[in-house]
Chain A
Amino acid sequence: MSQAPTREVAKRVFAREFNDATFTFKESDEERAPNFALLPTGDRANRVFVVGTLTETEDIGDDSEYWRGRVVGPTGTFFVYAGQYQPDATAFLRDAAAPEYVAVVGKPSTFETDDGNVNVSLRPESITASDETARERWVVEAAERTLDRIEAFEDETNEYAEMARDEYDTAVETYRREVVEALDSIVEDADEPEPEAAP
């Protein structure tokens, strides 16, 4: 069955694992071949979906607007950068009243700092206002997808797991602990008594 290229799935990944995904690659030599970040739990990501808390925004551009947003999840921070080529996301960050819940669909992007570190960030396709139940749903979903990847990590046919073993030093156990930490944080939230409604 011949078909148009299928759309890349938006992967669910927690912040620590995302920020560790410093290795990028392409699957073909074609000019427009998509760029993938290699997730340390053994998968490729060309698109990511995150729901978190936008805590800070800053215009760090010189000549033109270039906005940086910090989107915080239960285990760490995603850095979102939007400039003139992301007009909707730029407008959102400009007008945002942090802190607020946001949903971000974006592409992983890496850049090397002067001291040789590789920073991983998100180039947004969209940023929209979200809410607390969507954030919790995302945490549970990201937990499930991460556990799926960890379970598949030892599969002999998993080429991305093999790539991750070659490129990264961090044990996947780190990311299992990150999942537990993330889920614990929302279980604790649920245990807290509801604040009294204001009269």
Chain B
Amino acid sequence: MSDLRDHAEDVHEQFSDHIDVSVDDVEERLQTLVGEYKVPVDEARRSVTSHYLDEAGMERDALGGGSGSNDHVQVADVEEDERWIDVTAKVVDLWDPRSDAVAQVGLLGDESGTIKFTAFASSDLPKLEEGAVYDLGNLVTDEYQGSYSVKLNRTTTIEKLDEDIEVGDDSTTVEGALVAMQAGSGLIKRCPEDDCTRVLQNGRCSEHGEVEGEFDLRIKGVVDDGMDAHEVIFDKETTEAVTDISLEEAKDMAMDALDTTVVADEIRDLVIGDYYRVSGPTFGRYVLADDVEALTEPVDPAPVLSRARSM
């Protein structure tokens, strides 16, 4: 039971400045959930904390994760929304914030991979330096369309470390037949505004209206191995490599036909039904192909044959 007592003391410490509550009260609430209702300790603690937050009229943000109770996790293991965590990570990249409310936004990396981070101006934190490694305490995880990120907040502790981290490669590899090519493939036009690059629909950018677009080449496709269908995006370089059609040639084709869709038709005939191995980072539901290999070498049927015979 000393375990619950520790948790109770932690929770009590967080609230003692705000509401009149004793450690015994907290422990009793925890005990009810854990003992009677068989709730795991983590969840019980979360629930009890929520109760006192309500009672104190506080936001969870105001609290932080408590003293040393967070899990120290690898960034690739973040797969739950609204968890308090600690990480040790390198600032891999800093991006330009799109809003004044954001102080810093960029990419943190550790051995397991990378994750987006956001620090809000209101949190008033010291700035992180690109390339430096930090011990970061009390981050909150966030989820948007299946992608996870971490948010720094007022209670986040930042300690710069004098070490380097070899940032892991979090790219995934999918293999299978390219069974479909989606709309928005082939010769496309992008918005030329700085940092926009949105794909134009009928010459219009959803953000900047009618613009003189810049041509680009890409494939949005589906790689399917009979078990899962993975959506993939080939950029200009990989599309050129796979189809042997350069952006210039694609523009000429479209010019000759007075129609850009001939490019997509040609590409479709070249890639559909072929087998590929595609690797790259995932973005939402897409694998962004950094590396595409056409699988043209023969496969050995022997292992599958012996499996079939032994069944």
Q: Could you tell me which A residues sit within 8 Å of B by CB distance?
A: 1, 3, 6-12, 47, 49, 51, 102-105, 125-126, 128-130, 133-134, 136-145, 147-148, 150-151, 176, 179-180, 183-184, 186-187, 190
Contact = CB atoms under 8 A, between A and B. Distances in A.
Given A134-B274, A144-B304, 19 more contacts: A3-B146, A3-B285, A8-B229, A10-B177, A103-B274, A126-B273, A128-B272, A129-B269, A130-B273, A133-B297, A133-B299, A134-B273, A136-B299, A138-B177, A139-B301, A143-B305, A145-B227, A147-B307, A187-B301
4 closest A-B pairs by CB = A103-B273, A12-B226, A128-B273, A183-B305
B275 A134 contact: yes
A176 B306 CA distance: 12
A180 B308 contact: yes
A156 to B, nearest CB: 19
16 contacts: A9-B224, A9-B227, A10-B179, A11-B226, A130-B274, A133-B298, A134-B274, A144-B226, A145-B227, A147-B308, A176-B308, A176-B311, A179-B304, A180-B305, A183-B308, A187-B301
Nearest to B304: A143
Contact of A126 (B272, B298, B299, B305): B272
Interface string B282-311: 000100000000011111111011011101
Q: Residue among B143, B298, B301 with the most chain A CB within 10 A? A: B301
Count class of interface residues, chain B: 35 or more
Nearest to A173: B311
B256 to A, nearest CB: 20
B180 A126 contact: yes
Contacts of A136: 298-299, 301
B225 A141 contact: yes
B309 A180 contact: yes
B308 A6 contact: no
A7 B222 contact: yes
Contacts of A12: 226
A151 B311 contact: yes
B43 interface: no
B45 interface: no
B228 interface: yes
B268 interface: yes
Contacts of B300: 140
A187 B302 contact: yes
A10 B229 contact: yes
Nearest to B309: A180
A102 B285 CA distance: 29
Contacts, number: 112
B301 A143 contact: yes
Interface in B217-243: 222, 224-229, 231
Contacts of B311: 147, 150-151, 176
B308 A140 contact: no
Nearest to A142: B226
Contacts of A138: 177
Given A9-B228, A150-B311, A137 B272 contact: no
Given A6-B229, A9-B227, A12-B226, A186 B301 contact: yes
A128 B269 contact: yes
Contacts of A7: 180, 222, 229, 231
B180 A105 contact: yes
A180 B304 CA distance: 9
Given A7-B222, A10-B179, A145-B226, A187 B305 contact: yes
A139 to B, nearest CB: 7
A185 to B, nearest CB: 9
Contacts of B301: 136, 139-140, 143, 183, 186-187, 190
A106 B23 CA distance: 65
Most chain B beta carbons < 10 A, residue from A11, A49, A142: A49
Interface in B171-230: 177, 179-180, 222, 224-229
B304 to A, nearest CB: 5
A132 to B, nearest CB: 9
Contacts of B275: 134, 137
A105 B179 contact: yes
A183 B304 contact: yes
Nearest to A179: B308
A126 B153 CA distance: 51
A11 B231 CA distance: 16
A176 B305 CA distance: 10
A184 B305 contact: yes
A128 B179 CA distance: 10
B297 A51 contact: no
Contacts of A104: 273
A7 to B, nearest CB: 5
